[in-house]
Structure 1
Amino acid sequence: MEARRRIHAALTVVVIVLVTSSYGRHVAKAPMLKMDQALLTFHNQLSEGVQVFYTSDYCYKCLYQHLASVKPNNNNASAVISTRFTLTLQVERRTRNETLCRWSQTYEEGGHYSVWIQISEADSKPSCTRTVDKSPDNAYLPLVVAALLLAIMALLFVVVPYIYRRRCTSKCIKTICCQAPEYSVDNGRVNTSEASKAKPPRLLSLDTFRGFSLTLMVFVNYGGGGYWFFQHAPWNGLTVADLVMPWFVFIIGTSVVLAFRSMQRKGVSRLQLLRKITWRTVVLLMLGFCFLNYSPRDGPLSWSWLRVPGVLQRLGFTYFVLSLLQTFWGQKEIPLRAHHWWNPVQDVFLYWPQWLIIILLETLWLCLTFLLHVPDCPTGYLGAGGIGDNGLYPNCTGGAAGYIDRWMFGDNMYRYPTCKEMYHTTQPFDPEGVLGTINSIVMGFLGMQAGKIIICFKEMNFHILCRFLVWAFVLGISAAILSKCTRDGGFIPVNKNLWSLSYVTCMGCFSFLLLGSMYFVIDVKSWWGGQPFIYPGMNSIFVYVGHSLLGFYFPFSWEMRFQSSHWEWLLQSLWGTLLWVLIAYLLYRKRFFLKI
């Protein structure tokens, strides 16, 4: 019996060796792939071992990272790779620093791929032949289905109410879809008695723009279905997620101009305005610091690592500065039109003190960014550090911006920057840091400029739209020049983490175009009432704080079981977003609007 067991064991070992070595087939089961992953198997038919290295084409001048080592003589090795960006792979001899082959390829989710490293019959040199063992999944099918369903919902919200309004058949539909509280945008040229009888129409496009930005923000914060373009860019570049916050800042600037001018014309004193500004700023800062910067999932609270900067903190400080500008140097009354040389640019000329302050702030940002000496880093460095820039500046993440934040906040900063995974950074970096707040103020000031245009050229829709287009063109050209229309090779790359000047000009261009389009469709032509975005837009603080605090709880989210595709994650992201839109609509029906 003992001899039989030994013979049986020996035969088993021989069979296993034949399967793994002679033919290079898999014995172990292939690993379970998750979203944005593919399986890459290397088959080495050479007589010496090889090593495989990779780098992402999105990673700027990054060092190659080790992926797999493959033994010689028909052995193989498998590795799970990311499908988010194009990868460049390089196969080298293990004993000598010699590159056998190099190629770039965008792999697709769920696919199984093979690379056969063998001697070419044509020239007797090593070559790499790539094959597909299992066809990849269609990662974008869930997105297409969701887009079709949302398009149908859009028809229900836009086309059907429009038809009913035109036929004047449903009073209820009008109430739901058309009415809203009102912003005053009158410029002082109307009769006082008439103004007391009827309030000037509210700028519905502004509420819609705010609600659209907020809805997209909720969707992005809830995961965006797991798609990489609904998440922030690793460093330079622009994704859908990077559009949201600057749009919101732009809207803050526009709202400040319209609201403060209305209050000033009602006789609200400067001291009362300062009290209101201070109160709102303190509330925003405390909401961000006490509630949104910490989650019970982070474990026991420790002041040694609690994050000080944050989204609401930046919004609060930006609001504070913009409000001061409007309080002290805003125009309570627009002068009657006369034959002045500055009439065509009165929306700029009348506010020259504000422009002077903004120019000084931007000059400060440029000087600190490009002239401040950062230890062990090149002056004016804007990179991510880590393995980027050929690994020369591993501890220089964010350049001057990161240095200032680390000096001011120490460990009380964001610990998981978007560049950490791709660039293998070790330094903390906060995207809502001090230096970026300067350009956040500049972004809000561009929104103030939109409000000034609406005030100065009231009831002159053609002039308003033309000026929006001019500003969009100027800002777009500026962004193109600063970035050289490239992701990484410009004078100042577009970068959301740094809130670079090119990022601000680019987002200012988009903001003027989007607000102008909504103004034309909603306020000028009345083709659309802004539904459903107008509802969260009128309760923005409630929706933002609520979705941040309750996002990890049912029914807004749940523990996902199917993590190999985007279906469930996209469903959860859309479901959570739609719930908050529904809550905002119900609050609108109840006439409940949370204000601070």
Structure 2
Amino acid sequence: KTANGSSSGRLVSLDVFRGLTVVLMIIVDDFGSILPCINHSPWNGLTLADYVMPFFLFMVGVSLGLVYKNISCKAAASKKALLRAGKLLLLGIFLQGGYLHKIQDLTYGVDVEEIRWMGILQRIAVAYLAAAVCEIWLRNDEKVASFQSLFKKYQWHWLAMAILTAVYLVLLYGLYVPDWEFRNPLLEESSEAKIIMVKCGMRGDTSPACNAAGMIDRAILGMRHMYKSAPIYSRTEQCSMKSPDYGPLPPDAPSWCNAPFDPEGLLSTVMAVVTCLMGLQYGHVIVHFKNHNDRLLLWLGSSSVFVIFGFLCDVSGIHINKALYSLSYTCITTGCAGLLLAAAYVVV
């Protein structure tokens, strides 16, 4: 039986949580353009749409904790995880890399010089593989009888999360971002296309124009392989007269309003992995604690700590930002996911 007393072999509360997240995704996808207040935040801030991605990553982590509770052969389990991640990665590249033609466009295939390497499914694939490797290889034989022993058994997981978070923060706030230039994508096919310069010359900035996450993507992926549609920050007050909706540029709009930016970039994916690893720890609670009250106590306690810490980060200057997948965003969305999982667990 599952932890919820079902004989179906599934964690019913996780299925309910997954279903609610799918409903939320449909709502924000279908009505986000009509109600910009529920669409993704243009930059700093948190809206309904911003919960969807971390909720899915959290659920991947919880599921991994249940799937890999017993591992007979680490090599075979690793191979299986690698194959699954590879399939998901290729599917993501196929769906979001530019293979599918657009409406009224009868072309097919993709220009390899323009293919987008990162995307939603690609990010999930990376997070899944990283969390699976940690679960398969980075745990000991410690018997779990308390919260302390649970932490000790998976101490290397927590160390991995701490290292990833430290690397993310050091790169985001420590890398120097020089001036850079881009070709206006709205004029790229016309004779009026011109190179636009963005002035930066700073470090530690988290604005749309001069953050290190964008610089890393431009340097490693290349601007031609990044997200092709209007960047998320084109809906900010600086770039849209109808903010938080899309709209015409203000007369004094900065030069970077149409500059490319990938919302599923490389550096932000580091913290997406952390979200998945956090979800994995919630799965461990199900595996090692059979008492319902113990599970709820651990889930509610840790979720509350995550949410409080996230808001403390926000007020201290590490703003909630989905595009950068900031530390405050990671903690708050993980905490909210844990609270919803606990609520579903109680109800069903």
Shared fold, TM over 0.5: yes
Of 22, 26, 33 in structure 2, the residue corresponding to residue 218 of structure 1 is 26
Q: Is the 8 A contact 1:185 1:454 kept in 2?
A: no
Confirm whether residue 420 of structure 1 aligns to residue 234 of structure 2: yes
In the superposition, relative to structure 1, how do residues 480 and 421 fare at CA in structure 2: closer, same or farther (>3 Å)?
closer
Query: Which residue is 1:244 aligned to?
Result: 52
Q: Is the 8 A contact 1:185 1:258 kept in 2?
A: no
Of 175, 184, 192 in structure 2, the residue corresponding to residue 372 of structure 1 is 175
What is the CA–CA distance in structure 2 between the aligned matches of 1:368 and 1:381, rounded to whole Å? 11
Of 68, 71, 82 in structure 2, the residue corresponding to residue 278 of structure 1 is 82
Q: Is the 8 A contact 2:3 2:286 kept in 1?
A: no
Of 311, 335, 342 in structure 2, the residue corresponding to residue 480 of structure 1 is 311
What whole-Å deviation, never above 9, does each CA across 1:421-465 have from its counterpart, x for those lacking one? 43431321111000011100111111011111122211x111111
Query: Which residue is 1:318 aligned to?
Result: 127
Per-residue deviation at 1:232? 0.7
Confirm whether residue 520 of structure 1 aligns to residue 346 of structure 2: yes
In the superposition, relative to structure 1, how do residues 227 and 368 fare at CA in structure 2: closer, same or farther (>3 Å)?
same
What does 1:166-205 align with in structure 2 at a 5 Å threshold? 201-205=9-13
What is the CA–CA distance in structure 2 between the aligned matches of 1:358 and 1:442, rounded to whole Å? 6
Between Structure 1 and Structure 2, how many residues are aligned? 302
Q: Is the 8 A contact 1:253 1:446 kept in 2?
A: yes
Q: Is the 8 A contact 1:229 1:241 kept in 2?
A: no
Using the size of structure 1 for normalisation, the TM-score is 0.48
What whole-Å deviation, never above 9, does each CA across 1:279-310 have from its counterpart, x for those lacking one? 10111011000123333117543222221110
One-letter amino acid of the structure 1 residue matched with residue 161 of structure 2: I
In the superposition, relative to structure 1, how do residues 276 and 245 fare at CA in structure 2: closer, same or farther (>3 Å)?
same
Of 78, 86, 102 in structure 2, the residue corresponding to residue 297 of structure 1 is 102
In the superposition, relative to structure 1, how do residues 344 and 271 fare at CA in structure 2: closer, same or farther (>3 Å)?
closer
Confirm whether residue 261 of structure 1 aligns to residue 85 of structure 2: no
Per-residue deviation at 1:501? 0.3
- Cα RMSD after superposing both structures: 2.2
What is the CA–CA distance in structure 2 between the aligned matches of 1:203 and 1:334, rounded to whole Å? 25
Per-residue deviation at 1:229? 2.4
Per-residue deviation at 1:349? 1.5
Q: Is the 8 A contact 1:236 1:495 kept in 2?
A: yes
- Per the alignment, in what secondary structure is the counterpart of residue 297 of structure 1? coil
In the superposition, relative to structure 1, how do residues 350 and 466 fare at CA in structure 2: closer, same or farther (>3 Å)?
same
Q: Is the 8 A contact 2:139 2:155 kept in 1?
A: no
Query: Which residue is 2:208 aligned to?
Result: 384
Confirm whether residue 466 of structure 1 aligns to residue 297 of structure 2: yes
What is the CA–CA distance in structure 2 between the aligned matches of 1:426 and 1:292, rounded to whole Å? 20
- Per the alignment, in what secondary structure is the counterpart of residue 382 of structure 1? coil
Of 291, 304, 317 in structure 2, the residue corresponding to residue 491 of structure 1 is 317
What is the CA–CA distance in structure 2 between the aligned matches of 1:508 and 1:217, rounded to whole Å? 17
Query: Which residue is 1:449 aligned to?
Result: 281
Q: Is the 8 A contact 1:184 1:201 kept in 2?
A: no
What is the CA–CA distance in structure 1 between the aligned matches of 2:112 and 2:318, rounded to whole Å? 36
Per-residue deviation at 1:407? 0.5
One-letter amino acid of the structure 1 residue matched with residue 40 of structure 2: H
Q: Is the 8 A contact 1:476 1:505 kept in 2?
A: yes
Query: Which residue is 1:507 aligned to?
Result: 333
Per-residue deviation at 1:220? 2.3
What is the CA–CA distance in structure 2 between the aligned matches of 1:347 and 1:256, rounded to whole Å? 16
What does 1:15-164 align with in structure 2 at a 5 Å threshold? none
The structure whose residues are more often strand, as a share, is 1
Q: Identity percentage over the alignment?
A: 31
One-letter amino acid of the structure 2 residue matched with residue 465 of structure 1: L
Per-residue deviation at 1:209? 0.9
The higher-RCO structure (CA 8 Å, 6+ apart) is 2
- Per the alignment, in what secondary structure is the counterpart of residue 228 of structure 1? coil
Using the size of structure 2 for normalisation, the TM-score is 0.81
Q: Is the 8 A contact 1:184 1:199 kept in 2?
A: no
In the superposition, relative to structure 1, how do residues 330 and 382 fare at CA in structure 2: closer, same or farther (>3 Å)?
same
What is the CA–CA distance in structure 2 between the aligned matches of 1:497 and 1:516, rounded to whole Å? 27
What whole-Å deviation, never above 9, does each CA across 1:257-287 have from its counterpart, x for those lacking one? 101114x2xx3x1121111111101110110
In the superposition, relative to structure 1, how do residues 201 and 447 fare at CA in structure 2: closer, same or farther (>3 Å)?
same
What is the CA–CA distance in structure 2 between the aligned matches of 1:183 and 1:281, rounded to whole Å? 26
In the superposition, relative to structure 1, how do residues 321 and 185 fare at CA in structure 2: closer, same or farther (>3 Å)?
farther
Per-residue deviation at 1:201? 4.9
Query: Which residue is 1:335 aligned to?
Result: 143
Highest CA radius of gyration, 1 or 2?
1
What is the CA–CA distance in structure 2 between the aligned matches of 1:434 and 1:225, rounded to whole Å? 27
What is the CA–CA distance in structure 2 between the aligned matches of 1:420 and 1:373, rounded to whole Å? 24
Per-residue deviation at 1:218? 2.7
One-letter amino acid of the structure 2 residue matched with residue 384 of structure 1: P
- When structure 1 is superposed on structure 2, of 224-233 and 473-482 the one drifting more is 224-233
In the superposition, relative to structure 1, how do residues 284 and 473 fare at CA in structure 2: closer, same or farther (>3 Å)?
same
**Which ranges in structure 1 are unaligned for 5 or more consecutive residues?**
1-181, 187-197, 338-342, 386-395, 485-489, 523-596
Of 95, 112, 116 in structure 2, the residue corresponding to residue 307 of structure 1 is 116
Query: Which residue is 1:400 aligned to?
Result: 212
